[in-house]
Amino acid sequence: MLHDLLIAPFAEFAFMRRALIACMAISLSAGPIGSFLVLRRMSLMGDAMSHAVLPGVALGFMLFGLELWPMALGGLCASLLVALLAGVISRTTPLKEDASLAGFYLISIASGVLIISLHGSNVDLLHILFGSLLGVDDKSLLLIAGAATLTLLAFAVIYRPLVVECFDPGFLRVAAGGRAAGPGAVAHLVFLVLVVVNLVAGMQALGTLMSVGLLLLPAAAARLWAGSVGGLMLTTSGMAMAASLLGLILSYHLNTPSGPAIVLVAGLFYLASLALGRRGGLIRRYLPRPHLAH
Amino acid sequence: MNVAHKHVHRAPLHAAEGTAAIAVCNLTVAYNRHPAVHHLTGEFREGSLTALCGPNGGGKSSLLKAIVGLAPVVSGHVDIAGDRKRAIAYLPQVVEVDRGFPLKVLDVADLGHWRRSGAFGRLGAAHRQQSLAALAAVGLQGLELRPIEALSVGQFQRLLFARLIVEDAPIILLDEPFNAIDQRTTEDLLRLIVGWSREGRTVVAAIHDLDMARRAFPETLLIAREPIAWGATREVLSDAPLARARSLAEGWLENAPVCEVPA
């Protein structure tokens, strides 16, 4: 019975195994990427960058059809360009970074949808926007696993400067003799590139609109449980993996699309953490434990 | 009316004896073309203890930031004795630090080793001992493993002072170290500052409390965008310069004309 429920779908179908492995790899990246998006208060920035992928993907699609590499490269370039432009504009005009990002991602998504609709069918559009997790092939599995490997290795290098940059951004610049391009700025830039790489890699599995969900929702939930940066990253990865497994199994038995199912399960984790979380969950606010003597 | 322009000083306000730890030469710092520090020239002598006083918006923070390289220098320059990367330890205002970040107290003290450890270096037992000793010196022993978000503002300021101790730099710049700090913590931290000065370090602290400046700081730089006076605290914080700082602060205009002093 339990075997039928939990194991059989993966034992019987290769596409379920592929989907599971793809999600596990994305979950590994989600630990560091999601955690630092939340810690740096860049959650919305991650969302905006995932939308900004679209016009690049659309251009790749227009020129080469539904091919992985042109679409991935196009997405990478478009998203990095938008992140760069938003940074430049927030420094040179009175608009804050969030406003300029919102402006760019609305333009991106509108132009992306327009290009795809002109050159493809609604099925193509749905595929690009929401992915097709059960149709993950070897090439995209390699891309996803490669992105996860790159992320974990790169984080081993930039971890310490990135933590300091979040906590006290001036400190590293002073220690570097006041240069603007100190190790903190470099770590931040590498981090932005990694975010985009993971968004693009997750696109095939979860689509441009949903790939940010598996990166961000578990991290937001984990922030309500974990008290250290390391704990936060581990909890995030763990929650992302659990959401992937549960979502896949649910979508199999209930016969629903798998990407949205996974993101919804992650969303449920988030809501449950909001209510029950050890650090600042609502239960602590409305059912406070008695105060201590000192 | 061109209030700012009339009072520009080109000659150094302050020609101190002894070698300069920080030499400021015709420095102008500006945001959106409005100067925050305007044509400042002078020296912080090696081993001197200087209070940086003046009205809000008068350029105290901007001057400190320009010295460490965090503020846009429009003209002029700042020379530091020794290697700029190792010479200066800087205390930012508390609001510029993320006090909710999930770090432990000991982690922040360890951060003071950065210039020696860098992004990859290991912290050995000796380093750890220095961090623990610094935490004890600021009165935070027993709290080493607490998350920093559990600290009060005063405890957090003590922690940043512990990081300064670990940094062990010959020049220490403090940006409003006593904002929102209670009396007892203020006295404790002030003792540390005076102790640093006795050890021969050069210390500059931006403070608002003129009585404290008169009591504990031998020298003072009074600045209200324009440099007003720089020298022995008793002379700088006398009636005439203070009145001038006040009158300048009242004259800050949105539509100032272009400054015509050659850079």
Q: State residue A191 phi and psi, 5-degree precision.
A: -60, -45
B68 interfacial to chain A (CB closer than 8 Å): yes
Q: What percent of chain B has pLDDT over 90?
A: 67
Token pair 């050069």 in the structure block, residue: B202
Q: What CA–CA distances, in Å, run from B17 to B42, B157, B171, B198?
A: 12, 33, 18, 18
Distance in Å, alpha carbon of B218 to nearest chain A alpha carbon = 27
CATH, residue A265: 1.10.3470.10
Of residues B250 and B199, the one with the higher pLDDT is B199
Calpha distance A190→A287 (Å, rounded): 43
pLDDT tier at A290, thresholds 50, 70, 90: confident
Q: A150-198: per-residue pLDDT in tens?
A: 999 999 999 999 999 999 988 988 888 776 667 888 898 899 999 999 9
Residue B8's pLDDT is: 44
Q: What is the pLDDT of residue B5?
A: 43
**Per-residue pLDDT tens over the stretch B173-214:** 999 999 888 999 999 999 999 999 999 999 999 999 999 999
Choose among A168, A179, A226: nearest Cβ to B92.
A168
Sign of the alpha-carbon torsion through A154, A155, A157, A161: positive
Say if A187 falls within a structural domain: yes
Total-model pTM? 0.87
Q: ipTM score of the complex?
A: 0.84
Instruction: Tell which of B29, B31, B68, B105 to mutate to test the A interface (max A CBs under 10 Å).
Output: B68
Hey, of A174, A188, A224, which one would you mutate to test binding to chain B, going by the most B CBs within 10 A of its CB? A174
- The pLDDT tens digits for A83-112 are 888 777 776 777 777 777 788 888 988 999
In contact, A285 and A279? CB cutoff 8 Å: no
Residue whose C-alpha is closest to residue A225's, from A275, A266, A288, A289: A275
Task: State the total domains in chain A.
Answer: 1
For B14-69, the pLDDT digits (tens) are 555 678 899 999 999 988 788 889 999 999 999 999 999 999 888 999 999 999 98
Strands, E assignment, A138-223: none
Q: Which residues in A57-72 are b (16+ Cβ under 10 Å) and which e?
A: bbbbbbeeeeebebbb
CB contact under 8 A, B98 and A168: yes
Of A157, A158, A167, Cβ closest to residue B101: A167
In chain A, residues with a C-beta closer than 8 Å to the C-beta of B171 are none
Task: Residue A277: count other Cβ atoms within 10 Å of its Cβ.
Answer: 19
Task: Tell me the three state secondary structure of residue B205.
Answer: strand
Domain assignment of residue A6, given as a range: 2-278
Q: Is the Cβ of B70 closer than 8 Å to some Cβ of chain A?
A: yes
Burial (CB < 10 A; 0-12, 13-18, 19+), residue B12, is middle
With respect to residue A143, please indicate whether it lies within any of the assigned structural domains: yes
Residue A289 belongs to a domain: no
Q: How far apart are CA B111 and CA B197, in angstroms?
A: 23
**Residue A92 touches chain B, beta carbons under 8 Å:** no
Residue A131 lies in a domain: yes
What residues does B229 pair with on adjacent strands?
Answer: B222
> Does some domain include residue A285?
no
Average pLDDT value for chain B = 88
A164 touches chain B (CB under 8 A): yes
| 3-state secondary structure (DSSP) of residue A92 | helix
Closest CA to A109 of A89, A87, A88, A129: A129
Q: What values do phi and psi take at B151, rounded to 5?
A: -85, 150
Supply the pLDDT for residue A179. 65
pLDDT in tens, A7-31: 889 989 999 999 999 999 999 999 9
User: Residue B172 forms beta bridges with which residues?
Assistant: B89, B203
Cα–Cα distance for residue pair B217/B222, rounded to 1 Å: 13
The answer to whether residue A124 scores a pLDDT higher than 90 is: no
Residue B75 has phi, psi (to 5 degrees) of -150, 165
Listed residue (A179, A180, A252, A247) closest to A218, CA to CA: A247
Residue A284 placed within a domain:
no
Distances from the Cα of A23 to the Cα of A198, B102, B110, B128, angstroms:
12, 27, 37, 40
Is A25 part of a structural domain of the chain? yes
Residue A273 lies in a domain: yes
